[in-house]
Structure 1
Amino acid sequence: MSFPTSSRRGFLKTAVATGVSFSPLSLPDETAHVFLAGPYLQPPASNAMTVRWITAKPTYSWVEFGPTEALGQKAQSVKAGIVDANNRVHAITLTGLEPGKKYFYRIFSKEVVEFKPYKVTYGETIQSDILSFIVREAAGKQVSALIFNDLHDRPESIRHLCGLAGVNDRDFVFLNGDIFDHQNNEQQLIDHLLAPATKTFASRTPFLYVRGNHETRGAFRSDWADYFTFPDQRLYFDFTWGPVHFLVLDTGEDKPDAEPVYAGLVDFDAYRQEQARWAEQVMQSKAFKKAAFRVVLMHIPPQYSGDWHGATHCKQLFSPLFDKYKVDLCVSGHTHKYGVHPPVAGQHHYPVVIGGGPKDGNRTVIRLTADTRNLQLSMLRDDGSEVGKYAISSRS
């Protein structure tokens, strides 16, 4: 993996976007030891939180945290007895947290100048401002989330849509695919997602990433996932939060694997079949069955997405499972045509909600809330008007 060096102009842009302060307060040169992105929070838990960030140079990094601004506790990443160090992309999980409690935190990165077998030489240490988040209750009776999709390298949409929908009191945010046009390099991730998301919400509200077909394209496609934390360490996953069991699928590309544009470097048919087998096991589990609501997120919709190969394959594999195991709601993107599609007898027994985007007048943000009795969804267009809603009552 190659890493571009942040320029003086690029540093200033990122510093302003993220709101992170640096010590010492001086303009960096081409090889300065600075934060490039973050901190941004990743998959939530009722007793833990993962903090991620990127530095310009290899470092030893840690997080200090606590229930007050005095902090008092330290967390670092340790694997098989070895503390992570001499790396630039950082992920540190804070554990032993109490649900419902506010925690303050600050990230630290000490430059590793030289790493020899029996001698490590350190440089200066940089630190962020003190930030905070609230530990949400996974086992509670409510859930509140925002869902974005198909931003396609338009970072200004993050701030705009969050401003319309309100993000501060949400348990988490879903990025439901195609946040980018394709994967170029690390700087693209920083400029078009991590910096604007951190400034807007991600330093205090965690997000989960649902891969879209455009995230599978470009020279950086295999490196993309290294910058995010996924439940179960894979791109498809499930979890229960409050009354909702969420099931996330990675729908892959929209054209046949043999298409010349893929140069023989994809195998999504087998990958989707693998997920269908896994999804059926999840749907047979106690956690799925006893949840008040069962919600699927997948970038390519299982209905209303045309007859290209990827969409057709998703419909063939997943729609019968959704019917059989009584999925309550499927939320997707991909088509750039926002809409709420209720169940249709003989076609699908679950509602399909599709977000819009990415152009002005077609961008959407979806608000999803639920308690033990009711689930409500509202979709806002970028002018603030509500362009779709759906309500479901619990079967129990």
Structure 2
Amino acid sequence: MKNNISTGNRRNFLKTGLTIGGISLLNPVIATASPTVADDKALEIAAGPYLQTDFNNEMSVLWITTKNCNSWVEYGESQNNLDKKAYGDGKLGLKPAERLNCIRLKDLKPNCTYYYKIVSKEITDFQPYKVTYGKTVSGAVESFVNPDLKKNEISFVMLNDIHDRPNSIPDLLKLDKGNQRDFVFFNGDVFDYQTDEQQIINHMLKPCVDLFAKTTPFVYVRGNHETRGKFARNLADYFDNVANAAFTLGPVRFVILDTGEDKEDTHPVYADLVDFDRYREEQAAWLEQEVNRKEFKKAAFRVVLMHIPPRYSGDAHGPVHCTKVFEPIMNRAKVDIVLSGHTHTYKVHAPASGLNSYPIIIGGGPQTGTRTITKVVANKEQLKVSMLNDSGAEVGSYTLTKR
């Protein structure tokens, strides 16, 4: 086991702030929280498609248009025969007619390649008894492999604490170039705080779509910085899920926790608009149920992914509360490993008697020299973690064998 520590300092970073294109992101011009686009803008695909999934023989296809549309996905097992069509989940019998599209392809075959194309038809006039359509736009035919949920070996990579540095996404993923991963995991603080839709597109969606997200899904959990800013309440609209979840892929049961903010709820900066203590307690109750599920108990490995680690991230209220509500459950349930971020200091923490009974792997920070990509490969007998810094050197590793 290697255990190297970077010199990145989270608190100093937060004090100095970010500057991109000469504009400080600590003092931005806050855009409206509404995702409405001006009427004079032509119909285009503003972002996407990008894939997300919970690995239940389903795949969610997401994209954003510049106008409200009737949208669907055409897909099939042959590139030349997209014989199936799927629409977004409706409410009360009404199909979506919006700009933000999330369409779930269901009942997919294991270990099968699917080809798909996104299509959006502009709604130019929406009257009670007459809807007028305009231009139709569509994407190129893309493909993905729906994995066999019982596959013998799985792999993924983790990025964390990008903090509105979109170039870090290609910089780090190129260190894994050539490898076929089951998914990419973003473990929070991709953004410094939520400003507007264009920030989400430019600083996350576009680099992901350009690099991998048309063919390989990503999974994403909020960090504490994604809870900040007026547009934070719109964040979930752009993703299939950014909160707690659980799924099984191959020999691994994945449990994802949304750790919320790192300050007390009564802190003046939140202006009486948050309730993260109760939110974490509700997740702890959910976690108690999850660790008693047969899918969790029978898994060869049980991996928890959470932005704020359950220990080793200081004495602020949020981290302390995470330790209080989550750690006892995870210790009793014999969690095998936790992957986190938040501290901006990469480190491998071994199990500690009387504290965490599992290793805690913490990824690095946003600044060059402190950034990391964490690679995980697991089969039925062994789980291996290798963390690289942005120069490609291994700065942390851990290997687990099945208990």
TM-score by length of 2: 0.89
Tell whether 2:64 aligns with 1:2. no
Counterpart position of 2:370: 362
Counterpart position of 1:38: 48
Letter in 2 for 1:2: S
Partners of 1:177 and 1:200 in 2: CA distance: 19
> Which of 302, 305, 324 lines up with 2:332 in the alignment?
324
Q: What percent of counterpart residues are identical? A: 51
Q: How far off is 1:5 after superposition?
A: 4.0
> Which of 190, 201, 214 lines up with 2:225 in the alignment?
214
- Cα distance change of structure 1 residues 85 and 296 upon mapping to structure 2, 3 Å threshold: closer
Contact 1:76/1:83 (8 A) holds in 2: no
Letter in 1 for 2:223: G
Tell whether 2:332 aligns with 1:288. no
Partners of 2:134 and 2:178 in 1: CA distance: 38
Which runs of no fewer than 5 residues in structure 2 stay unpaired?
1-32
For these two proteins, the number of residue pairs brought into alignment is 370
Counterpart position of 2:9: none
Counterpart position of 1:159: 170
Partners of 1:30 and 1:337 in 2: CA distance: 47
State the Cα deviation string for residues 8-29 of structure 1 (Å, max 9, x = none): xxxxxxxxxxxxxxxxxxxxx9
Partners of 1:109 and 1:80 in 2: CA distance: 19
Contact 2:187/2:307 (8 A) holds in 1: yes
Counterpart position of 2:400: 392
What SS does structure 1 have at the residue aligned with 2:135? strand
- Cα distance change of structure 1 residues 175 and 167 upon mapping to structure 2, 3 Å threshold: farther
Tell whether 2:314 aligns with 1:306. yes
| Deviates most, 218-227 or 166-175 | 166-175
Tell whether 2:392 aligns with 1:353. no
| Deviates most, 139-148 or 204-213 | 139-148
Counterpart position of 2:132: 121
Partners of 1:331 and 1:167 in 2: CA distance: 23
Q: How far off is 1:317 after superposition?
A: 1.3
Contact 1:55/1:88 (8 A) holds in 2: yes
Partners of 1:157 and 1:72 in 2: CA distance: 38
Tell whether 2:256 aligns with 1:245. no
Q: How far off is 1:30 after superposition?
A: 5.0
Contact 1:378/1:388 (8 A) holds in 2: yes
Which runs of no fewer than 5 residues in structure 1 stay unpaired?
7-28
State the Cα deviation string for residues 286-337 of structure 1 (Å, max 9, x = none): 1111110111111001111011111111111111112111110000000000
Counterpart position of 1:23: none
Letter in 2 for 1:3: P
What SS does structure 1 have at the residue aligned with 2:329? helix
Contact 2:55/2:248 (8 A) holds in 1: no
Partners of 2:281 and 2:140 in 1: CA distance: 46
Counterpart position of 1:134: 145
| Deviates most, 188-197 or 135-144 | 135-144
Q: How far off is 1:168 after superposition?
A: 5.3
Partners of 1:311 and 1:341 in 2: CA distance: 16
Partners of 2:50 and 2:187 in 1: CA distance: 17
Counterpart position of 1:50: 60
- More relative contact order in 1 or in 2 (CA 8 Å, sep 6+)? 2
Counterpart position of 2:28: none
TM-score by length of 1: 0.90
> Which of 362, 374, 379 lines up with 1:371 in the alignment?
379
> Which of 68, 74, 78 lines up with 1:64 in the alignment?
74
Q: How far off is 1:358 after superposition?
A: 0.3
Where does structure 1 differ by over 4 angstroms across 4 or more consecutive aligned residues? none
Partners of 1:366 and 1:69 in 2: CA distance: 34
State the Cα deviation string for residues 183-226 of structure 1 (Å, max 9, x = none): 01111100000011011111111111111000000000110011
Letter in 1 for 2:339: V
What SS does structure 1 have at the residue aligned with 2:67? strand
- Cα distance change of structure 1 residues 356 and 196 upon mapping to structure 2, 3 Å threshold: same
What SS does structure 1 have at the residue aligned with 2:240? coil
Letter in 1 for 2:337: L
- Cα distance change of structure 1 residues 303 and 204 upon mapping to structure 2, 3 Å threshold: same
